[in-house]
């Protein structure tokens, strides 16, 4: 009887760990860089909500199809992020530039290959006024930016993200209950 319970519990733990490692994993939004698309919790600077959004990322999706511009992605930051932002590890940002794109920012607006990018997810009061000359994105690299441009430490500060650093595509918000969405 005790062995049956032990095997059942260990089996359940193994299944949960396997799902988290290869299928789907939850993440919490800790900063205001993706406001108002994804909320972080007050009283942190720039946060709009009482509770941080919790999201689910598909860990196998980018093995089946290529990342797309506009995807919200969980990824491991390049080492320079820790130096330039004071934080590193795992970030959640929007994928803006694809491999081979020519990315630039003019007065806070993004241009891809010379054409202004339509970004309905960036609110006017959250746009900054930066101008950054054109950057060619390397093969197998992606340019990430937060939707709250004025409060986002992103690829503009630490460069593009190699494909092997992509953890997964955010496909759902599951907490708090009033914010549940499928993307």
Catalytic residues: 33, 93
Cα–Cα distance between 30 and 54 in angstroms, integer?
10
Q: Which residues contact 138 (CB under 8 A, 6 or more apart)?
A: 99, 160
Place of tokens 């511009």: 69
């Amino acid at each position: 009887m005790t062995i049956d319970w032990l095997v059942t519990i260990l089996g359940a733990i193994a299944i949960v760990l396997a799902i988290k490692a290869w299928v789907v994993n939850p993440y919490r939004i800790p900063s205001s860089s993706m406001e108002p698309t994804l909320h972080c919790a007050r009283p942190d600077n720039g946060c709009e909500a009482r509770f941080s959004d919790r999201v689910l990322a598909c860990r196998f999706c980018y093995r089946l199809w290529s990342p797309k511009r506009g995807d919200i992605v969980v990824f491991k930051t390049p080492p320079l992020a820790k130096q330039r932002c004071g934080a590193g590890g795992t970030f959640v940002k929007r994928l803006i530039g694809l491999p081979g794109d020519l990315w630039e920012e003019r007065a806070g607006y993004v241009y891809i290959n010379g054409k202004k990018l339509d970004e309905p997810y960036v609110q006017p009061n959250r746009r900054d006024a930066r101008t950054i000359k054109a950057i060619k994105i390397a093969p197998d690299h992606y340019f990430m930016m937060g939707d709250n441009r004025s409060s986002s430490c992103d690829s503009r500060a630490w460069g593009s993200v190699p494909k092997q650093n992509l953890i997964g595509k955010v496909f759902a918000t599951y907490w708090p209950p009033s914010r549940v969405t499928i993307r």
